Amino acid sequence: MMVAGLNVTSFVPGRLRLKVDDVRRSPDFVRRLREILGAVPGVEHIEVNSSTGSVLVNYDTVVTIRGDGRLALIRAVSELFPFANVAVLQALLDRAT
């Protein structure tokens, strides 16, 4: 998935790596990102590298992809990146199941 300021650079079950332009520019956005993604059921760890704009999200695949967290993850991405095409994320999640 690629939109202005957001690129999914790696996706394997249990791990999602993003490049996010706003991570390099805005500590407020980093706090919001941690808060919103951290509330998704099954998300276990969020690692942010502000110098590279990299965001690594580790999650429990059973909860996040197959359970209650799936819709919450899609909503979280939509909230953080309103112009993102969530159909691409849904397709990635479908492939992981």
Q: What pTM, to 2 d.p., does this model score?
A: 0.84
pLDDT tens digit sequence for 15-55: 999 998 888 888 999 999 999 999 999 999 999 999 999 99
Give the alpha-carbon dihedral of 95, 10, 77, 57, to 10 degrees: 110
d(CA 37, CA 43): 7
CATH topology of domain 2-96: Alpha-Beta Plaits (3.30.70)
Q: Tokens for 47?
A: 């690692």
CA–CA–CA angle 84, 77, 43 (5° rounding) = 150
So where are the chain's domains? 2-96
